[in-house]
Amino acid sequence: MTFDRRPIVISGPSGVGKGTLIGRLLERYHDTLASTISHTTRQPRPGEVNHEAYHFVSIQEFESLIKTNAFVEYTFFSGNYYGTSRQTIKDQQAKGKIPVLEIEMSGITQIKMNKALDMRFAFISPPSLQVLEERLHTRGTESGKSIERRLELAKVEMERAKAPGFHDIIIVNTNLDEAYKELEEWVCGGTGSALATC
Ligand SMILES: Nc1ncnc2c1ncn2[C@@H]1O[C@H](COP(=O)(O)OP(=O)(O)OP(=O)(O)O)[C@@H](O)[C@H]1O
């Protein structure tokens, strides 16, 4: 039996529940799936451990990595760089794991432009922008301005996600358990089944 070992890319607007869904997936399938570790130039938050939460680097280091083509995708957001290195994908594959990437829209475009990369893409959508706004407020991690900016970006992402074939699956996260089940089925089952152990 052959299994689909392609890296899994999960995207969606900020606050839609990606982190929550991916957390569940990785907890359940930790023997098979592993999240990649991004590079960032932002400061670590309390409790964030270098090389676990992120690879924290200086702007100079990040820019020199860009020049050496070290990233499959990177972006500059809110004054900081964020990127996924080729190395973090290889590291997880070397451990026999299927890499799971959580990235935003421009990252997907960069990955899709690179024909040498073969990944599969899931988009997590909120039921509505209003619900998304409520979740961001409830999470309590963002200022009013930051929520506004995230909602603006969400509109663009949701519009872009409608383009046929841009994502392999769109999961509407209305009910968390149902959205999780749909994600798990996509990861584990159907044609191009990813996991032997699901
Ligand atoms: N189906 C759901 N119903 C209600 N609340 C939800 C649902 N899914 C997630 N949430 C809540 O919404 C908030 C945002 O979720 P989460 O932090 O996972 O989003 P995210 O997409 O990872 O955001 P970011 O990209 O900013 O990290 C959290 O407080 C989470 O508990």
Residues 105, 165: Cα–Cα separation, whole Å: 14
Which ipTM score applies to this complex? 0.94
Which residue, judged by its Cα, is nearest atom 10 of ligand 1? 17
pLDDT in tens, 20-65: 999 999 999 999 999 999 999 999 999 999 999 999 999 999 999 9
Residues 110, 117: Cα–Cα separation, whole Å: 10
- Residue 3 has a pLDDT of 53
- Secondary structure (DSSP) of 93-155: HHTTPEEEEE--HHHHHHHHH-TT---EEEEEE-S-HHHHHHHHHHHT-S-HHHHHHHHHHHH
pLDDT in tens, 43-54: 999 999 999 999
Which residue, judged by its Cα, is nearest atom 28 of ligand 1? 139
Smallest Cα–Cα separation from 17: which of 158, 190, 177, 188?
177
Ligand 1 centroid to 115 CA: how many Å? Answer: 32
Domains defined for the chain, CATH in brackets: 8-188 (3.40.50.300)
pLDDT in tens, 139-188: 998 899 999 999 999 999 999 999 998 999 999 999 999 999 999 999 98
Residue 91 has pLDDT above 90, yes or no: yes
- Residue 78 has a pLDDT of 79
Residues 72, 129: Cα–Cα separation, whole Å: 30
Ligand 1 centroid to 18 CA: how many Å? Answer: 6
Which residue, judged by its Cα, is nearest atom 24 of ligand 1? 14
Ligand 1 centroid to 135 CA: how many Å? Answer: 6
- Residue 1 has a pLDDT of 32
Token representation of residue 27:
């907890």
pLDDT in tens, 135-147: 999 999 889 999 9
User: Using a 6 Å CB cutoff, which residues line ligand 1?
Assistant: 12, 14-20, 135, 138-139, 173, 175-176, 179
- Residue 198 has a pLDDT of 59
Whole-angstrom CA distances from 64 to 39, 67, 70, 180 are: 12, 5, 9, 38
